[in-house]
Amino acid sequence: MARSTRKQTGLFLLAQPLEALSQIVLPTGEDVLRRLFCHGSNCKDNRKAVIDEVVRVWKRAHIPVVPLRSIMKKLETLVGKYEVRKKVKKRQSEGDKVSDALLQGHLASLFDIAAPATSSSMIHLKQKDKDFLDDQKGGQRKNGNEYC
């Protein structure tokens, strides 16, 4: 049998790199990381490009977002947590398994960059947009077409 000499393109704790973010649902942490790693390296320009894509999705949903510097910090924190777990991926102690499960739970949740509920832009948000955001945060992951 022939063996492949190339490594799989799968990522640790993630599926394949993501070519584009969905325009129907708000992205999860996993979606954002997969999109970042599709760009290749984790440099500042690539992080900025991914953040621009994420903000476009949120703006399309008519949901105001926090300032870009806050989004960049959130992405850097997420990448940092992922990189720490990736470095020790071969260790399989109970603590490592728990850490992997916690990280996967964090990745599965919404990459939440919505402005605080007390901000003036969130107060004036339409009810259907608030419902959509609540569904996305709750994990129901309905697409935006159901709220039109």
Q: Tell me the angle at which helices 29-38 and 44-60 cross, rounded to the nearest 10 degrees.
A: 130
Nearest to 112 by CA among 148, 61, 45: 61
Among residues of the chain, what percentage have pLDDT more than 70? Answer: 76
Which residues have a Cβ under 8 Å from the Cβ of 131 and sit 6 or more positions away? Answer: 147
Report DSSP state, residue 13: T
Tens of pLDDT along 51-75? 999 999 999 988 899 999 999 999 9
For 42, residues 6+ apart whose C-beta sits below 8 A from its C-beta are: 36, 79
pLDDT at 103 over 50: yes
| Lowest-confidence segment of 54-63, 76-85, 92-101 by average pLDDT | 92-101
- The pLDDT, as a whole number, for residue 11 is 52
